[in-house]
Amino acid sequence: MLNPLRQWRAKAKPLLSFSPQPLNFLFFTNPLSVSALESIDDEVSPIDTSDPLRFLARQIVTGFNTIGPRRVLCCPEFKTLVLSLNAKQVEDIIDFLREKNPKCAVVLFNLLKNDLGFQHCRISWFVVAHILAKKRRFNKLREVLQEFVDHEGSGSAPVLCELLLKRFRGWDSNGQVWDMLVSVYSRNELVQDALFVLAKMKKLNFQPFISTYNNLLYNLRHTDIMWDVYNDIMENGIRPTEYTNAILIDGLCKQYKMEDALAYFSEKERKDISPSLVSLNTLMSGFCKMGFTGVAKSFFCLMLKYGLVPDTYSYNILINGLCVAGSMEEALEFAYDMEKQGLEPDNITYNTIAKGFRLLGLVSGAWKVMQKVLLRELDPDLVKYTLLICGHCQIGNTKEGFKLLKEMFLRGFQMSIISYNVLLSSLCKSGRVHEAKKLLHEMESNGLNPDLTTYSILISGFCRQGEVEVAILLYKDMCSKQIFPNSFSHGAILSGLCETDTINVARMYFDSLVKIDLVVDVVIYNIMIDKYAKIGDVGEAVKLYMQIIEKGIMPTVVTFNSIIYAFCKMGKLAGARRWLEVMKVHGIVPSIVTYTTLINGCSEQGNTNGMLKLLWEMEAEAVEPNSITYTVVIKGLCKQGKMPESLEILDDMYCKGLLPDQITYNIIIQSFCRTRDIRNAFLLHDDMLMHNLQPSAATYNILIDALCQYGELKDADWLHTVLQNQGVRLSKVALTTMIKAHCAKGDVYKAKELFQQMAELGFNVTLKDYSAVINRLCNRSFIVPAKSFLHMMLYNGISPDEELCTMMLDTFKQVGEFSSAFELLSLMIKSGLLPD
DNA sequence: GTAGGGTTAG
């Protein structure tokens, strides 16, 4: 699109060419026109055509009053005429109209700006602002100044103040315009500009409204400047409001100054100012975030003592605190209590509790206890059912969730959209997106309208499964229902798109978000940056980082972690370290993820010294390594064949109470297998069992693979049988490994048995699997079984590709199996695969 | 003015 300003200038002609004659169309025979015309001038004078601008202004008023602004605007002559004016001329007209007919001035200003894309000069903006302020239309005033400030951007305060001071001093409502300017700057988080205007106001003896101060305080609550503003309020003798206090408390909590927050709160209390619910909620939230749920609970009691009724915020804040602290039982009690007090738990409550279950799911046996709590009273109600569904889904038991949904339905409960969303999310997480889509239709037929959450879950689910087309259809479906994604759902969708193999689709979506600009926060950037980091595109990741900085968005620790990851992935360790410094310069404290990423970078390069140095550095910065950090260190040591050292670290982990998981063990086991030390590999496997750690599918893949390669195939078969008897299912990879090994050794019978088993277990057997087997059989000239596998493949509806056919054809020719060769040839011709 | 959710490491 062409820049409106340029468009305007292209059409602009010098005013000299202006002549009033063509404007006669604006005069109407309607008697109204006469009075309208008279109303703009005090003395009823004959039309004066010698001052063209004044004349035009009058005509505009006449037109607006007789046929309405819209229709005036539609007159091509009017448009042409107006488009020939420059900003200064429009400014004169608007200023003239301000005295004669201020309403017309505002209408003209807006029409030109919105319908013709006219760029007004600063004076026009302020003239209109003053008109609105005088009429006390503060919402409109805010809107206009908001747009003005958006346009002027950061650092514009000095220029605007200068103008206000020189051109508008003494105008009616000048103070309100100043005041609103502070408010708008601070809302836009242009704090420096806001403070600048505030200082000028002080010099002019204009007193800002307390709401303006509150606005500014809110945007400064993360910093100490908050106190300067607060002192300013006090010095000016302005009474702080409830809001002021709540913001200050929130600010102190956000700065982790809990004692100061408490002191401030008690000071107000001493002054007999009874605390507001919001202040108490804020304090609860602050203490919960610090992990002090006990203190938070006492504030809850304090509320009751003051006769304040806890609201949904109070409950959700406390429930969240308890969930994060692992006190699920209490969290659930509060959720019940909430309902008893007539407050329905909402989306936020359930989301929070679901997160609690998820966190608790890591503790074995916890769910059983929770289930008992939930079922303590025999008849579950809507809340309990929803909570139960949350719990089952979070531990991956979607089936039980469905059972409960059905039960709810049979017992005549009014189904809630939340239960469905929980189930949908569970299905999508396990990749069962098509079942999820069916459930969507079911909920719709039950008269429930899917909401933003529903669509976000499904869209990101389909994206993650690589079915972008379905996701796009759902997206369109959603928008057609007037449901528009917010920053959170955009994030969900974008990260879903990032899971698909091409980055282009994700980038296109990202670019479209950036273009509308409203919803792009740092997380959206983080998602995109991380995608580039994962594919090793350091350049693009850094480019996006630069964009963040240019836009004045504060990068987070995640932003830096992803960039550091990108550098490590490309083996540019020096670069990664430089970014660690950049991060510190921004005042962002490196996290455990930062250090683990860097250590992994060193470990990949076999740089043990680098790893150790980083471990010390972590210690110095008081960042405690976790089991992932140690696993990375073990990986590094294993890579260099330092097996005894690896085992030592494993012991250290147990000593420090950091439990190694399957991945930790798999790394060591694999390393032993690589050195053909199968004995030690199996000893570690036993060690896992001893520590109550169930080996994962990957563990058995590694072990089976090792047995097939270096050990006895018999042992692999034996392990397979043992696992089968224990009900442990081997992965497809492990089965394929065994099949290939049996083929290579010539045990066709066993290979076929395993192959059939693979299909029976529901694994998706592909052309690649068949090709791998047939290839090995052909290599050993096992013609009959090779043919038999080919037939099995054709029977199952899989056609061979050219590569497979050519390979078989060559084998058949070599061993003189001409009839088989001809048979294959005819098959190839039928399939359109003609040999050279 | 107060609550969660979308993003990072083995």
Q: Which amino acid is at A561?
A: N
C1'-nearest nucleotide to the CA of A314: B3
Match 């045990």 to its residue by tokens.
A747
- Looking at strand B, which nucleotides approach a protein CB closer than 7 A? 1-10
C1'-nearest nucleotide to the CA of A662: B10
How many domains is chain A built from? 3
Residue A508 is assigned to a structural domain of this protein? no
Tell me the range of A10-24, A682-696, A730-744 where mean pLDDT is highest: A682-696
Burial class (CB in 10 A: 0-12, 13-18, 19+), A333: middle
Verify if strand B has an atom below 7 Å from the CB of A495. yes
Q: Grade residue A376 by pLDDT with cuts at 50, 70 and 90.
A: confident
Question: Which residue's CA shows the smallest distance to C1' of B6?
Answer: A491
pLDDT higher than threshold 90 for residue A576: yes
Whether A144 and A175 share a structural domain: yes
Distances in Å between the Cα of A797 and the Cα atoms of A482, A752, A766 are: 44, 18, 10
Verify if strand B has an atom below 7 Å from the CB of A293. no
Per cent of chain A over pLDDT 70 is 93
CA/C1' separation A458–B7 (Å)? 19
CA/C1' separation A531–B7 (Å)? 10
Question: Are residues A289 and A253 in contact, defined by beta-carbon separation less than 8 angstroms?
Answer: yes
Q: What angle do CA A646, A364, A670 make, to 5 degrees?
A: 25
Residue A656 is assigned to a structural domain of this protein? no
Whether A54 and A22 share a structural domain: yes
Whether A12 and A105 share a structural domain: yes
Verify if strand B has an atom below 7 Å from the CB of A532. no
Tokens of A774: 């047939």
Verify if strand B has an atom below 7 Å from the CB of A527. yes
Contacts 24+ apart (CB under 8 A), A218-227: A218/A186, A218/A247, A219/A186, A219/A187, A219/A189, A219/A191, A219/A194, A220/A186, A220/A191, A220/A251, A221/A247, A221/A248, A221/A250, A221/A251, A221/A254, A221/A255, A222/A251, A222/A254, A222/A255, A223/A255, A225/A191, A225/A195, A226/A251
Segment A720-734 shows an average pLDDT of 83
Neighbours of A610 (CB within 10 A): 18
Question: Which residue's CA shows the smallest distance to C1' of B8?
Answer: A558
Verify if strand B has an atom below 7 Å from the CB of A313. yes
Q: Computed over its alpha carbons, how large is the radius of gyration of chain A?
A: 36
Which residues 739-758 of A interface with strand B at a CB distance below 7 A? none
Which residues 113-142 of A interface with strand B at a CB distance below 7 A? none
CA A342/CA A123 separation, integer angstroms: 54
Verify if strand B has an atom below 7 Å from the CB of A331. no
Burial class (CB in 10 A: 0-12, 13-18, 19+), A459: buried
Verify if strand B has an atom below 7 Å from the CB of A453. yes
Verify if strand B has an atom below 7 Å from the CB of A428. no
pLDDT in tens, A37-96: 444 444 444 555 567 777 777 777 777 877 777 777 777 777 777 778 888 889 998 998
pLDDT in tens, A448-469: 899 999 999 999 899 888 888 8
Residue A746 is assigned to a structural domain of this protein? no
CA/C1' separation A295–B3 (Å)? 17
Verify if strand B has an atom below 7 Å from the CB of A492. yes
pLDDT higher than threshold 60 for residue A299: yes
Whether A82 and A159 share a structural domain: no
C1'-nearest nucleotide to the CA of A568: B9
Task: Please state, rounded to an integer, the average pLDDT across all residues of chain A.
Answer: 86
C1'-nearest nucleotide to the CA of A218: B1
Residue A336 is assigned to a structural domain of this protein? no
> What torsion, rounded to 10 degrees, do the Cα atoms A156, A161, A167, A170 define?
150
CA/C1' separation A138–B3 (Å)? 30
Whether A80 and A182 share a structural domain: no
Verify if strand B has an atom below 7 Å from the CB of A285. yes
Q: HEC string of A719-768?
A: HHHHHHHCCCCCCHHHHHHHHHHHHHHCCHHHHHHHHHHHHHCCCCCCHH
pLDDT higher than threshold 70 for residue A26: no
Verify if strand B has an atom below 7 Å from the CB of A561. yes
Whether A6 and A78 share a structural domain: yes
Verify if strand B has an atom below 7 Å from the CB of A817. no
C1'-nearest nucleotide to the CA of A246: B1
Q: Grade residue A310 by pLDDT with cuts at 50, 70 and 90.
A: very high
Segment A710-727 shows an average pLDDT of 85
Give Cβ neighbours of residue A88 (< 8 Å, ≥ 6 apart). Answer: A121
Verify if strand B has an atom below 7 Å from the CB of A451. no
CA/C1' separation A629–B9 (Å)? 8
Tokens of A374: 């939930």
Question: Are residues A554 and A524 in contact, defined by beta-carbon separation less than 8 angstroms?
Answer: no
Verify if strand B has an atom below 7 Å from the CB of A212. no
Verify if strand B has an atom below 7 Å from the CB of A457. no
Segment A280-288 shows an average pLDDT of 95
pLDDT in tens, A215-228: 999 989 988 889 99
Verify if strand B has an atom below 7 Å from the CB of A247. yes
CA/C1' separation A517–B4 (Å)? 23
Of the candidates A735, A790, A776, the one whose C-alpha atom is nearest the C-alpha of residue A758 is A735
In our burial notation (b when 16+ CB lie closer than 10 A, e otherwise), range A802-830 reads eebbbbbbebbeeeebeebbeebbebbee
- What is the predicted pLDDT for the residue at A47? 52
Tokens of A287: 């203490």
CA/C1' separation A687–B2 (Å)? 50
Whether A156 and A93 share a structural domain: no
The residue from A240, A274, A301 where one domain ends is A240
Whether A108 and A148 share a structural domain: no
- What is the predicted pLDDT for the residue at A378? 64
Whether A195 and A222 share a structural domain: yes
Whether A34 and A107 share a structural domain: yes
Match 């479906």 to its residue by tokens.
A477
Whether A29 and A112 share a structural domain: yes
Residue A84 is assigned to a structural domain of this protein? yes
The residue from A240, A264, A289 where one domain ends is A240
Whether A109 and A4 share a structural domain: yes
CA/C1' separation A544–B6 (Å)? 18
Residue A804 is assigned to a structural domain of this protein? yes
pLDDT higher than threshold 80 for residue A835: no
pLDDT in tens, A528-551: 999 999 999 999 999 999 999 988
CA A460/CA A465 separation, integer angstroms: 9
Distances in Å between the Cα of A240 and the Cα atoms of A268, A273, A281 are: 11, 11, 19
Of the candidates A710, A769, A708, the one whose C-alpha atom is nearest the C-alpha of residue A720 is A708
**Within 13 Å and on the Cβ side, how many CA atoms surround A653?**
23
Residue A602 is assigned to a structural domain of this protein? no
Tokens of A166: 């020189």
Q: Grade residue A654 by pLDDT with cuts at 50, 70 and 90.
A: very high
C1'-nearest nucleotide to the CA of A456: B6
CA A421/CA A395 separation, integer angstroms: 16
Give Cβ neighbours of residue A131 (< 8 Å, ≥ 6 apart). Answer: A98, A102, A105, A106
pLDDT higher than threshold 50 for residue A186: yes
- Residue A144 lies in domain: 137-240
The residue from A120, A150, A170 where one domain ends is A120
Residue A375 is assigned to a structural domain of this protein? no
Per cent of chain A over pLDDT 90 is 46
Helical (H) or strand (E) element with A792: helix A783-795
CA A779/CA A212 separation, integer angstroms: 82
